[in-house]
Amino acid sequence: MVHQLTFDPGPVGTTAIDKRPVEGPVKVRTLGLHGDVQADRKNHGGEEKAVYAYSADDAAWWGDQLQQEIPAGYFGENLRITGLDVDSATAGERWQVGERVVLEVTRPRIPCATFGRWVDQPQWVRRFLAAGRPGTYFRVITTGEIRAGDEVRILNEGEGPTMREVAAARGPAAARPND
């Protein structure tokens, strides 16, 4: 599948769904990674959704389902995580990325119509939500720099339901209109 430059981001206008891996360090600030665009911070960013992480295992699963490669950043994630179950994170849990950056789990991704248009699959938003592989949003507790390959470790366990359970409780009906 080829995404042309004529991609329609919808009523928001600018979108940052198309992320690509970068070389070298990237600054992480309160509102996310340097260079990332959050055109609609009310629904798609802000401090509560500053960083979005997705599991490498879940991306590989989707690759099998869709019969295509799902490169890092394709789902709009800032971080593609290997070795940790991102969807089992609980609210308040803190993760350290690299030597300094500390992130706190806030919520699962509830997909939107822009994501649906980007992936261009029938009923994509509902399908993504129903699969129970939502990925996790974080707020930034300690700013700093990160780079590809940095170690990611859980500093403390959170409480309550996992991000997978929170997303499942919202159900496919939680998907935004126009999917």
The verdict on residue 45 lying in a domain is: yes
15-19, 73-77, 173-177: segment of lowest average pLDDT: 173-177
Q: Per-residue confidence at 134, pLDDT binned at 50, 70, 90? A: very high
With residues binned 3-state (H G I as helix, E B as strand, rest as coil), the percentages for the chain, rounded to 5, are 25, 25, 50
The verdict on residue 82 lying in a domain is: yes
CA–CA separation, 11 and 15 (whole Å): 10
Q: How many CB atoms lie within 10 A of CB 120?
A: 10
Range of the domain at 44: 10-171
Q: Residue range 9-20: average pLDDT?
A: 66
The verdict on residue 65 lying in a domain is: yes
Least Cα distance to 65 among 124, 109, 16 occurs for 124
pLDDT at residue 14, as a whole number: 58
Q: Quote the radius of gyration of the chain (alpha carbons, Å).
A: 15
43 pLDDT more than 90: no
The verdict on residue 4 lying in a domain is: no
pLDDT in tens, 153-169: 999 988 899 999 999 99
> What secondary structure letter does DSSP report for 176?
P
The verdict on residue 1 lying in a domain is: no
Q: What CATH number has the domain bearing residue 137?
A: 2.40.33.20
The verdict on residue 113 lying in a domain is: yes
Q: Per-residue confidence at 44, pLDDT binned at 50, 70, 90? A: low
Domains held by the chain: number: 1
The verdict on residue 67 lying in a domain is: yes
The verdict on residue 3 lying in a domain is: no
The whole-model pTM stands at 0.87
